[in-house]
Structure 1
Amino acid sequence: MSGDEAQVGQGRLAQLGVTKKLFQDALTQATSEARMCTDFDAPAMPGITFWSRANRYLAEQLTDPDKQSPVWKYTRRDSILRVVHPTGSHAITAVSGAGGVGELDSKVRSKNPKGRVMAQLVEDNVKFERSGQVVIASRDEIEFGGELDSMPLWFLLYGRNEDGRLAAELSLPVKMEGKYVNEWSERIPLFTGEDPGFDLGLLDSSDDGDSSDGGDLDFEVRSKPTT
């Protein structure tokens, strides 16, 4: 990435109220915790731990009044872990990516399938982009009702590059192919770190991010026979 591109990225992050260091610190802490998993843990545990801790440490930094002003808010509604900007202009969630994460010349998509709630949020991002409300959608305060679904949702995408090193970008999704997010209106490269030593994207959510709405499971309901 050129110096001009880096400067533009820094300015865009400032508009969104975040910094590269914020994301790097959160993902570095998540890496340290995931590395504590051993072969006695479930096979998916490092990936689940990394996903959960990445969102946790991002939230802890942004909701701490001693570290962040103004203070962000946090929600786990629909099992989508999100930090929400104080003005309600946008939200951010950390998820694993596949492809050229952090490389603007390469394609990237979400590594794991997403459910109906995430699909609706991605579709809504297109509406915000067309209306010019991607950055600022002024609100005096946030009440987690319909407003939560009425703001752009950015992805903190993380993954391992061809060298096995941790890479990250902040991107705004606008389209899904099947259950995978694969088109973005903006992509902001963040950093490339060291090799975490485990599969970052092995199950990065509890249930496609949509466990509370039943996901995409179908159940057959039968009447109990009478005696």
Structure 2
Amino acid sequence: MAIHTPKTREDLARLLDPMRLEATPFEHAVAVGAAEKRTVSPAAPKSGPEYTRWMRTVEALHEGLMLLRRGWRRDDPDNLPYFSHPQLRLGLVASSGGKFTGVAWGNPSTKNDKGVAFARRVDLNGQVALFDQPTGDGGSFVVDDLWILLYNERDGMVYLELSHPMSMTGKKIDTWSERIIFPPFDLALGAFSFEEIDDEDEGDVGFTVTRR
């Protein structure tokens, strides 16, 4: 498994650019999601805060990706909010993650059980689904690579990563071929906490390879 830990905004940009992505939509999405979670009172259903976070995270991510105008589109197959880049054959979904989300020394998983819509896109043989993905206009396109945005809030930070799934254990996705770990999002500062590095180190990207 390849694990990328970019130290600077420029390092992160170099990892995201081949996917026609930028850091800003993710930064904005986790900020909005965290803020909206806090608007839910204790009188709401128990699932209310996290459901509200997920809903607003998806909404803000949608707005950010569309504003990029870099070929990303949005569909909702099986009622799953699904972003895709038909030209690059990429797919992207957002999900809350477990306690090891956003750290290189642990193996993350999706926090909650996933249903049929997720399972159809990650098969149990360790291969990302290569079949046609339906679109809202009645068409379809092929997705070769599905990526999942995982996020988890703890200790005043939102930890997040963009990771490429391999397989599911039960109803949770917990095996990955590649992980791009974002710097933690500092809720007090409202921004990613990139490291301060010396000029001579500028441009270095952390990279870890672990056994599957």
TM-score range, shorter chain: 0.7 to 0.9
Superposed, which structure 2 residues align to 1:8-47 within 5 Å? 9-47=12-50
Q: Is the 8 A contact 2:148 2:164 kept in 1?
A: yes
Q: How far apart, CA to CA, are the structure 1 residues paired with 2:65 and 2:175? A: 27
Computed over aligned residues only, the root mean square deviation of the Cα atoms, in angstroms, reads 3.0
Aligned to 1:157: 150
Residue 114 of structure 1: how far off its partner (Å): 1.1
User: What do the CA deviations read for 1:41-64 (whole angstroms, capped 9, x no partner)?
Assistant: 21211100111111111111212x
Displacement over 3 Å in runs of 4+: 1-4, 124-129, 141-146
Residue 21 of structure 1: how far off its partner (Å): 2.2
What is the aligned residue count? 180
Of the two structures, which has the highest relative contact order with CA contacts closer than 8 Å and spacing of 6 or more? 2
Residues 1:56 and 2:49 aligned together? no
Residue 145 of structure 1: how far off its partner (Å): 4.5
SS in 1 for 2:109: strand
Residue 87 of structure 1: how far off its partner (Å): 1.7
Q: Mark the structure with the bigger radius of gyration.
A: 1
Which runs of no fewer than 5 residues in structure 1 stay unpaired? 134-140, 197-227
Aligned to 2:209: none
Structure with the higher fraction of residues in helix conformation: 1
Q: How far apart, CA to CA, are the structure 2 residues paired with 1:32 and 1:185? A: 31
User: What do the CA deviations read for 1:177-214 (whole angstroms, capped 9, x no partner)?
Assistant: 11110001110011312469xxxxxxxxxxxxxxxxxx
Q: Is the 8 A contact 1:20 1:191 kept in 2?
A: no
Q: Which amino acid aligns with 1:185?
A: S
Structure with the higher fraction of residues in strand conformation: 2
Residue 71 of structure 1: how far off its partner (Å): 4.2
TM-score by length of 1: 0.69
Q: Which amino acid aligns with 1:188?
A: I
Against the structure 1 CA distance between its residues 125 and 160, is the aligned structure 2 distance closer, same or farther, given a 3 Å change threshold? farther
Q: Which amino acid aligns with 1:46?
A: P
What is the aligned-residue identity percentage? 26
